[in-house]
Structure 1
Amino acid sequence: MTDPQVALMMLGLFIVFVFLGFPIAFTLMAMGIGFGYFAYYDPSRMWRSFERLDDAATTWDSWSTWFEGFLNNRIFDLFVNQTFTVMSNEVLTAVPLFLFMGYIVERSNIVDRLFTTLNIASKNLPGSMGVAALITCALFATATGIVGAVVTLMGLLALPAMLKARYDPSFAAGIICAGGTLGILIPPSIMLIVYAAATNVSIVRLYAAALLPGLTLVGLYLIYIVGRSILQPSSAPKPTDDEVPDMPRLQLLWLIITSFVPLAFLIFAVLGSILFGLATPTEAASIGALGGILLAFLYRAMTWQRLRESVYLTVRTTAMVCWLFVGSYTFSAVFSYLGGEQVIGEFVSSLDLTPIQFLIIAQLIIFLLGWPLEWSEIIIIFVPIFLPLLEVFGIDPLFFGILVALNLQTSFLTPPMAMSAYYLKGIAPPELRLTQIFKGVMPFLLCVIISMVLMYIFPQVVFYLPDLFYGR
């Protein structure tokens, strides 16, 4: 077999092992080292050690020399270097800090206060409880960036309240599932940090580019919620005074100041310090982590148990991301050395696609990959395969990254593998069926598709803020 054929076999075997359920990070490392040993095999390096043996050498000397010769392969040097590169990556340093901030906020009872306040403040709006749930999801998802945590917590908090208020079960479930995924797109997004580290795109420009598309998607969600509540009042009845009591304005203002303002200020402080160049993402993440701890103390929710849980979850998630990077870098280096990227590039170039056609095909592939894989695995493993092709078609990696972030919203919402639906089903009342949740997320899926179409038609939605803040 030629080297490019071995590279394609390597990619095919990896996909097979993923579908068989093998741990992805360790599969990447094992296949990278295994195929890399073949790619970098040099008989002269392996047997050079035996030249030092003499006739009096013991069996142990022979075995240790053979083992030394076996390890005398450049793939092991590559693996060590890639591990060091990942662990010393300054961009990735922000990941554990943002994760810690999110886990602390999740355990600080802030979300409960926020949802209650927004529910009272928006009482006179059509679909007021749905609007409050979506805005709470958006703020909480922005602060944490962890889809499972947002959907689960909001499912425990907001879903029973909406069902008690006689909301259509599908409608209520769709609001929570859609709102919980917004943290992937809206800065400070951990996914965008990982994309920046994998592609060498400026994280600051990525954050600026994601703001308008993120707000556009939130706007489309709100339009759908309010519009359906007006056209179909039975799906979102107006709350009674017993369900949402009236409150004096001063008391409501105090509730907003003590629940909405602190979390919003923390998010805007972190994001603003990055966008206006006052701090690097890592420094801003440090501020956010400290701010999360202070909020937990102010709300009297900080305990040793909660702090320990937050640290443990942060370490576990960060380790997963870092080892995915190590495995992906090793796998990609071997795949490229064997000529796999060149084969894929020549094949795609031979199709004579327009840039729009290439973007649609790439997004369709990422959409399908979103069913069996998490966003981190897609960004770290498969997005780098598309990167060399972006230059061929004249596509800005910044624009491609925002499209991918929008696309990954669909992977959490599309049946039959809609992970946000399964997160919600795990904590929902037994009478709420999975088919009802799938039915509820479909209109929100349409909103995501509309936002992607708007990006294709009006790319300045992505480029306006980065060009305004930082120039072209």
Structure 2
Amino acid sequence: MTDPQVALLMLGLFIFVVFLGFPIAFTLMAMGIGFGYFAYFDGDRMWRAYNRLSETAGAWDQWSDWIAGFFNNRIFDLFINQTYTVMSNEVLTAVPLFLFMGYIVERANIVDRLFSTLNVASKNVPGSMGVAALITCALFATATGIVGAVVTLMGLLALPAMLKARYDKSFATGIICAGGTLGILIPPSIMLIVYAAASGVSIVRLYAGALLPGFLLVGLYLIYVVGRSILQPSSAPRPTDDEVPDVPLGRVLWMLATSFFPLAVLILSVLGSILFGLATPTEAASIGALGGILLAVAYRALTFQRLRESVYLTARTTAMVCWLFVGSYTFSSVFSYLGGEQVISEFVTGLNLSPLAFLILAQLIIFLLGWPLEWSEIIIIFVPIFLPLLAHFNIDPLFFGILVALNLQTSFLTPPMAMSAYYLKGIAPPEVQLTDIFRGVMPFLLMVFIAMAIVYAVPDVVYYLPNLVYGR
């Protein structure tokens, strides 16, 4: 087999092993080292060492030379260097700090207060509970960026209240699943940090570029929720006074001041300091982590147990992301050295696609990859395969990254592998079936596709803020 054929075998074998359920990070490292040993193998040196063993009847110093030759393969140097490069990456330093902020906020009972307040404040809006749940999901997802945590917690808080208020099961579950995925797109998104590290795009420009598409998607979700509530009142009945009591305006404002605004100010402070150049993402993330601790203290929710859980979950998730990077860098380096990247590049460029056709093809592949894989694996492993092709099609990596972030919403919403649905089903009441959840997420999936079409048609949705703040 030629080296490019070995590279394609390497890629195909990886996909096959992933479908078998093996841990992706360790699979990447094992295949990178295994195929890398073949790629960098120095056969002449090993043969000379073997001949010396034969001539000296296997003297120990010759055996040690042969053993040293066996392990003296450049793949081991590559693996060590890639590990050091990832662990010292300044962009990735922000990941554990943002994660810690999210886990602290999750455990400080802030979300419970937030949903109750928004539920009261929006009582007179059609589909008020759905609107409150969606805004709470969006704000909480922005603070955490952890889809499973948002969907699970909102499923425990909002879903029982919505079902008690006679909401359609599919409608209620769809709102929670769709709202819980918004943290992938809306800054300060951890996914955008990972994309910045993989692509070399400025994280501040990515954050600025993602704001308007994020608000666009939230707006489309809200339009659907309110519109359906008006056209089909039985799916979202108006809450009774027993379910949501009338509260004086002054009391509502006080509730907003003590629940909505503190979290909103924390997020806007972190994001604003990044966008206006007052702090680096890492510095802003550290302030956010400190702000999360202060919020927990203010709400009298900070205990040693919760702090320990937050630190543990932060370390576990950060280790997963970093080792994925190590494995991906090693795998992609060997894949490129064997010529696999060139084969794919020549194949795609040989199709004579237009830039629009290439974007649609790339997004379709990422959409399909979202069924078996998490967003982190897609960004770290497969998106770098497309990045070298962007220059050929004259596509800005910033624009491509925002489209990928929008597209990855679908990876959590598309049956049969919609992870948001499975997160919610795990904690939903028994009468809520998985088919109900699948049926509920489909309209929101359509909203994602509409948002992507708008971004395709009007690229200034992405470029307006970066160009306004940082220039072209």
TM category, shorter: over 0.9
Residue 113 of structure 1: aligned partner: 113
SS class of match (1:214):
helix
CA contact (8 A) 1:193 1:203 kept: yes
Aligned partner letter, 1:313: L
Residue 134 of structure 2: aligned partner: 134
Distance 2:55 2:28 in 1: 42
Instruction: Give CA deviations for 1:159-179 in whole Å, capped at 9, x if unaligned.
Output: 000000111111000000000
CA contact (8 A) 1:170 1:436 kept: yes
SS class of match (1:92):
coil
CA contact (8 A) 2:53 2:59 kept: no
| CA shift in 2, pair 1:59/1:296, >3 Å | farther
Residue 8 of structure 2: aligned partner: 8
CA contact (8 A) 2:120 2:246 kept: yes
Distance 1:346 1:266 in 2: 47
Distance 1:45 1:90 in 2: 39
Per-residue deviation at 1:142?
A: 0.1
Instruction: Give CA deviations for 1:386-406 in whole Å, capped at 9, x if unaligned.
Output: 011111111000011000000
CA contact (8 A) 2:159 2:173 kept: yes
CA contact (8 A) 1:50 1:65 kept: no
Spell out the pairing of 1:397-416 with structure 2 (5 A cutoff): 397-416=397-416
Percent of aligned pairs with the same amino acid: 83
Residue 23 of structure 2: aligned partner: 23
Instruction: Give CA deviations for 1:363-395 in whole Å, capped at 9, x if unaligned.
Output: 010000000000000000000000111111110
Per-residue deviation at 1:249?
A: 1.5
Per-residue deviation at 1:149?
A: 0.1
Aligned partner letter, 1:352: N
Confirm whether residue 384 of structure 1 aligns to residue 384 of structure 2: yes
CA contact (8 A) 1:46 1:72 kept: no
Per-residue deviation at 1:301?
A: 0.5
Residue 227 of structure 1: aligned partner: 227
Distance 1:111 1:406 in 2: 25
| CA shift in 2, pair 1:116/1:55, >3 Å | same
Residue 368 of structure 1: aligned partner: 368
Residue 101 of structure 1: aligned partner: 101
Structure 2 unaligned spans of 5+? none
Per-residue deviation at 1:57?
A: 9.0
Distance 2:212 2:22 in 1: 38
Instruction: Give CA deviations for 1:319-339 in whole Å, capped at 9, x if unaligned.
Output: 000000000001100111111
Residue 471 of structure 1: aligned partner: 471
**Paired residues, number:** 472
Residue 243 of structure 2: aligned partner: 243
SS class of match (1:393):
coil
Distance 1:206 1:51 in 2: 57
CA contact (8 A) 1:40 1:75 kept: yes
Per-residue deviation at 1:41?
A: 1.0
Structure 1 unaligned spans of 5+? none
Q: Give the TM-score normalised by structure 2.
A: 0.98
CA contact (8 A) 1:172 1:440 kept: yes
| CA shift in 2, pair 1:84/1:46, >3 Å | farther
Confirm whether residue 282 of structure 1 aligns to residue 282 of structure 2: yes
Distance 1:63 1:105 in 2: 59
Confirm whether residue 37 of structure 1 aligns to residue 37 of structure 2: yes
Per-residue deviation at 1:251?
A: 1.4
Distance 1:196 1:49 in 2: 45
Aligned partner letter, 2:199: T
Residue 342 of structure 2: aligned partner: 342
CA contact (8 A) 1:45 1:72 kept: no
Aligned partner letter, 2:223: I
| CA shift in 2, pair 1:49/1:105, >3 Å | farther
Per-residue deviation at 1:49?
A: 6.4
Greater shift in the superposed pair: 409-418 or 246-255: 246-255
Residue 75 of structure 1: aligned partner: 75
Aligned partner letter, 2:338: L
